[in-house]
Amino acid sequence: MNVDEFWGIVEAARADGRPFHEALVDRLAERSEEEILAFQARFDEVDGVVCRWDMVAAASLILGGCTDDAFIDFRAGLIALGREWYERVARSPDALADHPVVAQAAAGDADVEVFHGAVGEAACEAYERVTGKDDCDFYDAVDEYKTAHGLEETDSDMGEEFDFEDDAEMRKRLPRLAEMFLPG
């Protein structure tokens, strides 16, 4: 699955009018087993691009801290924002300061969901629906798909690690998000 096909599925699910996760699962469940595996392989690639320390820092500011699980949810949430926002934030995580959901979170709206961990499970749920196989089978099938198509797993370059608890460093690296989420 090429990158345009991947984002086409994401954008169609976003335009569906239902909760994104549900729409994405349904759209993927309309596809073949092979296409679902291809989607997940591309998802993993797109997810890996934003697996960086500056992204951890952005998630940490927005959440007031960031566990490994929260960071996985954050990256899935970036994909759920759609291609335009994903690419914008991949270039500069500080661009999240412009997103309305992030602004709502900064304003203290506790009902705002910034991270969408379930999005990362959409292909697995669609695979289970289409094949009747469980999630262990899905992840084995994804690994086999990647091997068969020469999509080797590589460690992503996380970039420069820095201290997320150093407010001055956060203000330097993510000035707009820091302005929104750090105390005066």
- Full 3-state SS string of the chain: CCHHHHHHHHHHHHCCCCCHHHHHHHHHHCCCHHHHHHHHHHHHHHHHHCCCHHHHHHHHHHHCCCCHHHHHHHHHHHHHCCHHHHHHHHHCHHHHHHCHHHHHHHCCCCCCCCCCHHHHHHHHHHHHHHHCCCHHHHHHHHHHHHHHCCCCCCCCCCCCCCCCCCHHHHHHHCHHHHHHHCCC
CA 11-181-158 angle, 5° bins: 60
Question: Over its length of 184 residues, how does the chain's per-residue pLDDT go in tens digits?
Answer: 999 999 999 999 999 999 999 999 999 999 999 999 999 999 999 999 999 999 999 999 998 888 999 999 999 999 999 999 999 999 999 999 999 989 988 888 766 676 777 899 999 999 999 999 988 899 999 999 999 999 877 777 898 888 989 999 999 999 999 999 998 7
The pTM of the full predicted model, rounded to 2 decimals, is 0.93
Structure confidence at residue 2 (pLDDT): 95
16: CB partners within 8 A, 6+ apart: 23, 26, 27
Q: 43 exposed, middle or buried (CB, 10 Å; 0-12, 13-18, 19+)?
A: buried
Q: Are 139 and 44 in contact (CB under 8 A)?
A: no
Tokens representing 79 are 């994909």
Structure confidence at residue 102 (pLDDT): 92
Structure confidence at residue 8 (pLDDT): 98
The structural domains of the chain, with segments of one domain joined by +, span 3-179
Q: CB count, 10 Å around CB of 154?
A: 8
77: CB partners within 8 A, 6+ apart: 114, 115, 116, 117, 119
Structure confidence at residue 116 (pLDDT): 79
